[in-house]
Structure 1
Amino acid sequence: MKWAFVGASNIASEWMVGAVRAVGDEVVAVVSGSAERAQAFARQHGITQALTDLGALAGLELDAVYVSSTNDQHEAAVLQAAALGCHVLCEKPLALDLAAARRMVEACRAAGVVMGTNHHLRHNSAHRQMREVLRQQGLGPLVSARVSHSVFLRAQLQGWRIDNPGAGGGVVLDIAVHNADSLAFLLGEYPVEVMAMTQQRGMSRGVEDDAMSLWQFASGLCAFTHQGYNTPHASNRLEILGQQASLEARNVLNQAPGGELVWRRADGDLSLRLDHDNLYVRALRELHRAIAGQPNDLASGEDGLKSLAVALALLESARTGRRVPVSYA
C-alpha cells in the first residue's frame, strides 16, 4: 500500500516509517504545517513528497493515511483521507471531543474504508498472553485491576503535551486512553463510571501531568489507574487480580517490546515468555487483516472513540470532584 503521513512527528519518525516498510508498504508523502519540518522529515526518511496542504494528497493514488499531527488537527486529516477513499490509522486520542471523533468514525464508515486507532500497547506479547489466560478463566472470578503508567516524558516529546490544552495536551488524553484500551482488550469491557484527581507536579503548565483514578465496570470489577509524566525512575505495571490467581506484567506499557509477565498461582509463580515483536509492525499487520476482511486485533475507530470517552470522563471527574458516568453516545 502507498501511504501518506499527516504529521512529521517523533512517533512517525522513530516507529511508523520503519513499520510501514517492514510490512512491505511505502511512504510516498508527508504533510506538515511547517514546510521546513516536512522537508526535513522527507529528506531523513527518503520520502518523495513533502507537503503543507492536505488537499495536495489528491492525485497521489494513495491507499492509506497515517495521522500523527496534534490532537486538535486529527479530524481534518481523517475526513480528508476518507474523502479520498483511503484507509486510516490515527493516533490517539482521536480528537478533543466525542462529536469530532464520531464524525471521523462515521466518515470512514460511509466511505467504506477501514479506520484504526494506533493503540499499540494491545500488541505487546504480555497483553496477548494475559488475554488468553483470562479467556481460559485462569484467574478464577476477577476481583480488580491495577494500572501504574507513570513515566518521564522525554524532552523532545514535551512541547504542546505539557502546555497546550487547545492542542490536546495533558497526561489524561495522552496516556489514560491507552489504559482504557488495554483494559478493554483484556477484559472485554469499558468502564461505566469513573472518579479521578489530577495535579500539576512541576512539569506541566496549564494542563495536568499526573492523574489517579478509580474505574467501575458493569461486571462489578473495579480498577485503579495512575498516569504521570514526571517520574523518571518509575517502572510501569499492569495487573489483573482474581480469586484464584493473578497476572502481573511489568514494563510492558512502552513503545518497545519486552517486559516481564508473571502468572501468580497457588502452585507457584510461572514466568511467561514474551516475544519481542515490534508493536507497530503488528498493528499494521492487523490493519492489513482488517482491510482484507479477516479476523484481527486492530483497535478500530470505535475503540478509539470509547477510549476517548473514558479520558473525557476522567477530566470531568477531576474538574467537578464527582463520580462521572462514561458516555459512549
Structure 2
Amino acid sequence: MIWALVGASTIASQYMIGALRARAGGEVRWVVSGSEDHARRFAQDHDIPETTTDLSRALADPEVEAVYISSTNEKHHPQAMAAIAAGKHVLCEKPLALTTEEAAAMIAAARAAGVTLGVNHHLRHAGSHRAMREVIAAGRLGRILSLRVFHAVHLPEHLRGWRLDNPAAGGGVIPDITVHNADTVRFLLGEDPTSVIAESATSGMGQGVEDSAMSVWTMPSGAMVFSHESFTHPFTTSGLEVHGTEGSLIARGVMAQDPGGEVELITAEGRSALPFDTTSLYETAVGRFEDAVREGTEASASGRDGLKSLQIAMAVREAGRSGTRQTLDYGMSA
C-alpha cells in the first residue's frame, strides 16, 4: 500500500513509518507538515520522496491509497474529511476528533465514500491484550467482577508542549490517555460503560488542561472499572488487573508502545505466566488495517471504536469538571 503521512510526528518517526513499510510493497510516498523546513528534514531522515505543506497536493496523487494522520488533535477532523473526499482510506491517530459530532461525521463520510476509516488504538493490537481477551472470553476468570487500569506515567520531554498547555489543540491527559484506557476496557470486556464518575486535577505539569484523572465506570454486566491516568508520575509502572469469580489477570508494563511487559494468570490451580505474541503493535495494527481495506471489512479498530472511546473520555472529563455522574448514550455510534 502506498501512503501519505499527514503530520511529521514523533510517533510516525519512531513507529509508524517502519510499520507502514513492513509489508511487501509498503511505501511512504508523501509527508505533509505545517512547516516546510520540518517536512524537508523529516523526509530526508526517513527517505520519503515527496514533501508539502499543502494536503491537497498529496491527496491529488492517484497512487496514494491511504493516509496516516498524526497531526495535533484539532486537525484530525478536517484532514480526514479531505482525505475521505479524495477517496483515500484513513488511519487516524486517537482521539479520532475533538468532539463526538466531528467523529460521527467522519464515520458517516467514510461509509458514504466506501473507504475504510481506522483509529490507531495500538493497545488492542498488543499480544498481551489479545491473550488476556482470549482468557476472559473463554470464561477462565468466571464472571468478571472488576477491572483496574493504571496508566499514570511521566510524559517524556519530547512529547510535551501542546499536550500540556493547549486545550484548543486537544491537550490534556483525558483526550491523550483516557481514550486508550476506554478502548482497552471495551476490547477486553466486550461491553461499553453506561455511566462514569470522575475527579480530574492539575498536579504539576498541566497549564490550562488536566494532567491527572481518576474515574469509576459502571458496566452493563455489573463489573466495576477503575481508570487512573496521569502525565506526572515518574517512578511507577503501567498495567491493568482483571478480577473474576474464578481467577485474576495481573499485567504489568503492557500499557506501552513496545510489545513488552508480563501477564500473570491466577486461579485455584495456582499462578502461571500467560504467554503472548511480541510482534510490534503497530505492524499488527497496520497489517489488519490493510487487510480490512483489501477485504472491504471494518478496521480492527474502527471509526465506531474511536467514537465510543472519545465518548467515554469526554464523559470522564465532564464528570471531573462538574462533579456529577455522566450517563453514556451511544446513539450516534450505531
TM-score bucket of the superposed structures, by smaller chain: over 0.9
Match of 2:127 in 1: 125
Give 4+ residue runs of structure 1 displaced > 4 Å after superposition. 294-297
Supply the distance in 1 between the matched residues of 2:241 and 2:66 (Cα, whole angstroms): 35
Match of 2:259 in 1: 257
Compute the displacement of 1:190 (Å). 1.4
Compute the displacement of 1:275 (Å). 2.6
Match of 1:201 in 2: 203
Query: Any conservation in 2 of the 1:289–1:296 contact (CA below 8 Å)?
Result: no
Supply the distance in 2 between the matched residues of 1:241 and 1:59 (Cα, whole angstroms): 51
Match of 1:41 in 2: 42
> Is the partner of 1:191 in helix, strand or coil?
coil
Query: Any conservation in 1 of the 2:68–2:91 contact (CA below 8 Å)?
Result: yes
Q: Which among 312, 320, 323 is matched to residue 321 of structure 1?
A: 323
Per mean C-alpha deviation after superposition, the further-off stretch among 229-238 and 290-299 is 290-299
**1:279-294 map, 5 Å:** 279-293=281-295
Could you tell me which amino acid in structure 2 is paired with residue 58 of structure 1? L
- The normalised TM-score by structure 1 is 0.98
Match of 1:148 in 2: 150
State yes or no: 1:10 paired with 2:10.
Answer: yes
Supply the distance in 2 between the matched residues of 1:202 and 1:157 (Cα, whole angstroms): 16
Supply the distance in 1 between the matched residues of 2:269 and 2:119 (Cα, whole angstroms): 39
Supply the distance in 1 between the matched residues of 2:59 and 2:145 (Cα, whole angstroms): 52
Compute the displacement of 1:296 (Å). 7.5
Could you tell me which amino acid in structure 2 is paired with residue 77 of structure 1? Q
Could you tell me which amino acid in structure 2 is paired with residue 89 of structure 1? L
Q: Which among 100, 112, 118 is matched to residue 102 of structure 2?
A: 100
Supply the distance in 1 between the matched residues of 2:325 and 2:185 (Cα, whole angstroms): 20
**CA distance change for structure 1 residues 297 and 66 in 2, over 3 Å: closer, same or farther?**
closer
- Residues 49-68 of structure 1 deviation map (CA, whole Å, 9 limit, x = unaligned): 11101111233121000000
> Is the partner of 1:19 in helix, strand or coil?
helix
Supply the distance in 1 between the matched residues of 2:229 and 2:74 (Cα, whole angstroms): 21
**1:204-215 map, 5 Å:** 204-215=206-217
**1:66-77 map, 5 Å:** 66-77=68-79
Could you tell me which amino acid in structure 1 is paired with residue 280 of structure 2? N
CA-based RMSD of the aligned residues comes to 1.2
Match of 2:80 in 1: 78
Supply the distance in 2 between the matched residues of 1:58 and 1:79 (Cα, whole angstroms): 11
**CA distance change for structure 1 residues 265 and 295 in 2, over 3 Å: closer, same or farther?**
farther
> Is the partner of 2:155 in helix, strand or coil?
coil
Compute the displacement of 1:327 (Å). 2.8
Compute the displacement of 1:206 (Å). 0.6
- Residues 142-185 of structure 1 deviation map (CA, whole Å, 9 limit, x = unaligned): 10100000111101101100000000000010001011111111
Compute the displacement of 1:292 (Å). 2.5
Query: Any conservation in 1 of the 2:142–2:245 contact (CA below 8 Å)?
Result: yes
Compute the displacement of 1:274 (Å). 2.7
Could you tell me which amino acid in structure 1 is paired with residue 226 of structure 2? F
Match of 2:54 in 1: 53
Could you tell me which amino acid in structure 2 is paired with residue 166 of structure 1? A
Could you tell me which amino acid in structure 2 is paired with residue 147 of structure 1? V
Supply the distance in 1 between the matched residues of 2:328 and 2:128 (Cα, whole angstroms): 27
Supply the distance in 1 between the matched residues of 2:43 and 2:299 (Cα, whole angstroms): 31
User: Which stretches in structure 2 are left out of the alignment for 5+ residues?
Assistant: none
**CA distance change for structure 1 residues 124 and 273 in 2, over 3 Å: closer, same or farther?**
same
> Is the partner of 2:295 in helix, strand or coil?
coil
User: Which stretches in structure 1 are left out of the alignment for 5+ residues?
Assistant: none
Q: Which among 192, 195, 213 is matched to residue 194 of structure 2?
A: 192
State yes or no: 1:273 paired with 2:281.
Answer: no
